[in-house]
Structures are given as structure tokens and as C-alpha cells.
Amino acid sequence: LVLVVDFGAQYAQLIARRVREARVYSEIVPHSMPVAEMLARQPKAIILSGGPSSVYAEGAPGIDADIFDAQVPVFGMCYGFQLMAQRLGGEVAHTGAREYGRTAVSVTAPGTLLHDLPTAHTVWMSHGDSVAQAPAGFDVLASTTVTPVAAFESLERRMAGVQWHPEVLHTEHGQTVLEHFLHDIAGCRQTWTMLNIVEEQVESIREQVGEGRAICALSGGVDSAVAAAIVQRAIGDRLTCVYVDHGMMRQGETEQVRRDFEEVFDTLDVVDAADQFLDALAGVTDPEQKRKIIGREFIRTFEAAQVRVFGDAQEGETAFLVQGTLYPDVVESGGGAGTSNIKSHHNVGGLPEDLDFELIEPLRTLFKDEVRAVGEQLGLPSTMVWRQPFPGPGLGIRIIGEVTRDRLDILRAADAIAREEMTTAGLDRDIWQMPVVLLADVRSVGVQGDGRTYGHPVVLRPVTSEDAMTADWARLPYEVMEKISTRITNEVPEVNRVALDITSKPPGTIEWE
Ligand code: XMP
């Protein structure tokens, strides 16, 4: 285990991912965690992340100097590097000289950390202060025109640091530097592989569940699928997977999910709840209200499934609920290790009073890319592993206006054409997703053949994104857009106009509702 100490910037998650890419398991801890608590976790190394631009800034986060006396290897990056220099008796100069963005660094004495790197290369910097003097016993390895000490190491103390950000893509050889520290200076073993993750999880789920039974709601997305696949390895047919078809899925989707899942799971409980959802949505146009109704109906349907599965549960039997919670959710909600317990007394009508749900969250320590890698390791179909995000409320929030069966049919037909053409053009992995939105209450005049048309517009919303928090509109090739537009207006009689959404997020969101 390597601990990444988070000084409140955006870098900690990226660093933790890079450490894992070096096949060493890592977790993020807040800088406010007492050092004794960090050491109690017996880390093989500690990484101090980037953070505010100056260690002299008012309220700049610090770290207990004890950490440097614990015989644990330490690596500092950017702010962490300066903090290290300062706490170990070096000198950090408040010069006012700054370096931001791409910066040329020159390796003066490579040592172990910068071993085999080109003397001159480009790194990503973002700092105000500079280290003017390395702590006693540390060798200076590199400099820039502004920063005399841009990297240092002490092999004796198994500590090193760099002024730049090795974790970002724009830094050349960043991963190599990190691996030199982890493998060559700290001596971390490379045991974090997808196979090991699966084996460890299977083992611990078996222990947690014993002879118990579990239920999992599959959305069709990759997270719940991988979570369920791991649990199934552990407890076999004592896992029941439930997939709720709310009638607002895309064309062929439920069949695809059924095919994929039946290949992998012994039992799949497909609940056809289209009538229930669409009846509940009749006459509703407000986006938030639509979402609330869909959420409520989903819970109702799932509860009924729980009763079917656990209805014969004995008093005192624990029911387990599988969830695809990911590590970023855990970090962002400030949570740490341990499992949570949902008391479901009041919302699982029909179940014995004392039947609690205990969560199984096999992906709680994983990043999205690791989830996909685990999915491939488990041999899940690639349609499942590489599926683009699709919102839980489905096409219901892509029809602007009331959701009706007719409108769903129109949108499904247009969406299927758009998806087919994107796949044909080989663009599926280049974009994050491309919602097709039906402006159901808008009509415009057109002409087709010899006649006037009065149809609805659809909007294409292709976006690129890394985490859906921000997004940009995707610059699709004109030929692909042309093909999609021609086919939709020819093949879907109710649609006579195709528009393109060229708004980034912010200010727009990805979905229209
Ligand atoms: P927005 O529209 O907020 O979407 O920019 C960000 C990402 O989240 C997806 N999304 C959802 N996913 N349930 C989900 O599982 C939802 O209710 C939901 N709403 C939006 C959206 O598709 C995009 O990838």
C-alpha cells in the first residue's frame, strides 16, 4: 500500500491512478489525518501531492514532521516537494518567480530517480516558490532556468521529490520517474494486477456472505455488471441479478443486455415494467418531476423483486445488496475503508422486520479504467465492458416534453441510426457519448418529395469528456454528420430536421434534462 497524501488540489486521484499503473496499490488520505494513523496502515511509501502554490501562503496545509522520521520512503511532488524541502531543513525561497505549464528541465545528475532520462526534457509545472537549497544529505538532480533545485533524492533515507507534476500527461517521462521512485528507491513490489484484484475480492466476499444470498440491480452499465460478475464468482447462484426494463431503453438494448448477461450469469431476472413507468409519467413535462417519478418507480419495482428473492428469509438472516460504487465516489464523499449498512426496514414492504441489507461493494477501491480492465479479465463481452454511459432514466430525459410511447418510438428510431453510423465510422471510443434529443413539442416546416412536412427536430449532442464533470462538444467529421442527418430525415417520417448542439459543459450539461 502506498498512501497519497492529498493537499486539497485536484492531483491526488490522478497520482493514485498512476501509482496503480505502476502495479502498486494506492489509496488517498487527507493531509489532516494524524501521522500515527497513516503509519498504522503500514504503507510501503508515502507520496505528498501537489497543492497550493506556496508553503508560505496563509493557511497552507502542512504535515507533521514525524512523517520523515518513520523510516518510510517519501516522495514529494510540486507542493509536496517544497514541503519536504522545508521540513527537512532545506530552503524554500519566496522569490515571486513563477513557472506555469510546459517547462524545460535539465537533468544535471540523474541519480536513481532520473536514471536513463534525456538530459533535457519537458515537464508540467505549476508553482510560485522555489526550492533554493536541498536539505542536507540530499543530492540535487535537476534544475530549470527559474528553479535551481527541481529534483532531489536521498537513497539513504529512501526519499525523493520533483518540483514538477509527473502524474500529468504533458510531463514527459513522468510515469518513469514515478516508477523509479516506487520500484527502485522505495522497493515496492509490483503486485497490483487485475487477476489479484479479482481473487482478493472473491475471497473477501465469500467471507462476508457466508451461506447468505445477495441481490443486484443491473443497469446494463459496466459498473454494476462487473460488480455482479465478481460476486457471482464468489457465491454462484446465490446471487440474483435484476434488470428493470422501464420502457425507455434504446432500440435493441434490453435484448442486448439479456443476451450479454445470460452468457455470464446463471440467473437474470428481467422485469418488464414499461407500463408501470409510462403510466406514472403520463402528462408530466417537468424534468425534475420526471426524474423523481422514474426514481420512485424504480425503487418500487426493485422492492417487489427483493420480496420475490428474500420473501422466505428466516429471522436474523442477512440479505446482501450488491452495488457498483467506485473509488472516486468513496473519496469524494469523504469516506474511508469499511462497509456501510443500509437499514431498509421501512422501504421493503413484505420482508421480515429485522432483515437488514448489508452492502457488498467489490469496486469500492477501483477507478473506472480498472473496472473495465477487471471486466476484461473476467471475460465479460466487450459490448458490456466498453459501453458508453447511459443515464438511468434513459430516453425519458431525452424527450423534451411529455414522455409517450409514440415519442419513444420516434426517438428510438433516430437514436438507433445515429449510433449505427457512429459505430460504422469507428468513433465509439473517441467520444464520451452522443445523446440524441427529441424536441417533442417543437415543430418546423420542411419539404420532402413534392410535399410540405411539419415535423419535429432532433438534436445530436456528441461530447468528449474525461469524467463527465466537464465536457466539450465533439468535432465529428462532416461526412458522418451528413450521413446521420440524411438517414434520420429519410427513415424517420416524424423527424424533418437534425440539429447539432455545440455547447460545452459548463454552461450546458451533457443531457438536456
Ligand atoms: P449531465 O447531464 O449532468 O450528465 O452533464 C453527466 C453524465 O451523467 C449521466 N447521467 C446520468 N447517469 N443516472 C445516471 O446513471 C442519471 O440520472 C443521470 N443523469 C445524467 C449522463 O449521461 C452523463 O454521462
Atom nearest to 390 CA in ligand 1: 22
Q: Is there a domain that residue 505 lies in?
A: no
pTM here is: 0.82
Does residue 313 fall inside a structural domain? yes
Rounded distance, CA 347 to CA 472, Å?
40
Among 135, 168, 185, where does a domain finish? 185
Which ranges constitute the DSSP H helices of 72-192?
Answer: 79-87, 174-179
Which residue's alpha carbon is nearest to atom 19 within ligand 1? 391
- Count of structural domains, the chain: 3
Task: Note whether 168 and 227 are same-domain residues.
Answer: no
* Catalytic residue, candidates 27, 78, 188, 361: 78
Residue 257 placed within a domain? yes
In a domain, 509, yes or no: no
If asked whether residues 468 and 360 sit together in one domain, one would say: no
Q: Residues 27, 99, 167, 179: which is the catalytic one?
A: 167
Rg (C-alpha) for the chain, rounded Å, is: 27
**Of 124, 156, 185, the domain-final residue:** 185
Q: Please give the distance, rounded to the nearest whole angstrom, from the Cα atom of residue 397 to the centre of ligand 1.
A: 10
Rounded Cα distance between 147 and 310, Å, is 65
Judge if 34 and 169 occupy the same domain.
yes
The x, y and z cell numbers of residue 319, run together, are: 440479505
Any domain includes 513 = no
The residue ranges of DSSP E strands in 325-429, in sequence order, are 341-342, 357-360, 399-400
Which residues are CB-contacts of 132 (< 8 A; sequence separation ≥ 6)? 90, 91, 92, 93, 95, 148, 149
Distance 403 CA to ligand 1 centre (A): 18
Last residue of a domain, one of 129, 154, 185: 185
Question: Is residue 359 helix, strand or coil?
Answer: strand
Do 349 and 380 share a domain, yes or no? yes
Which residue's CA is the nearest one to ligand 1's atom 12? 391
Pair (135, 12) in one structural domain:
yes
Residue 124 lies inside a defined structural domain of this protein:
yes
234 is in an annotated binding site: no
- Identify the domain containing residue 230 by its residue range: 194-385
The reply to whether ligand 1 has any atom less than 6 angstroms from the CB of 433 is yes
**Is 115 one of the annotated active-site residues of the chain?**
no
Q: Is 165 a catalytic residue?
A: yes
- For helices 194-209 and 368-377, the axis angle rounded to 10 degrees is 90
Question: Same domain for 95 and 201?
Answer: no
Which residue shows C-alpha cell 528507491? 185
Q: Could you tell me if the CB of 468 is within 6 A of ligand 1?
A: yes
Q: What is the CATH number of the domain that holds 73?
A: 3.40.50.880
How many other C-beta atoms are found inside a 10 Å radius of the C-beta of residue 332?
10
Same domain, 175 and 262: no
Q: Is the peptide bond before 110 cis (omega within 30 degrees of 0)?
A: no
* Ligand 1 center to 470 CA (angstroms): 12
143 is in an annotated binding site: no
Per-residue pLDDT of the chain (513 residues; tens, 9 = 90+): 999 999 976 789 899 999 999 999 999 999 999 999 999 999 999 999 998 778 888 888 889 889 999 999 999 999 999 999 999 999 999 877 788 889 999 999 999 999 999 999 999 998 888 999 999 999 999 999 999 999 999 999 999 999 999 999 889 999 999 999 999 999 999 999 999 999 999 999 999 999 999 999 999 899 999 999 999 999 999 999 999 999 999 999 999 989 888 888 777 899 999 999 999 999 999 999 999 999 999 988 988 898 888 888 888 888 899 999 999 888 877 654 444 455 444 444 566 666 678 999 999 999 998 999 999 999 999 989 999 999 999 999 999 999 999 999 999 999 999 999 999 999 999 999 999 999 999 999 999 888 999 999 999 999 999 778 889 999 999 999 999 999 999 999 999 999 999 999 889 999 999
- 375 by DSSP, 3-state: which? helix
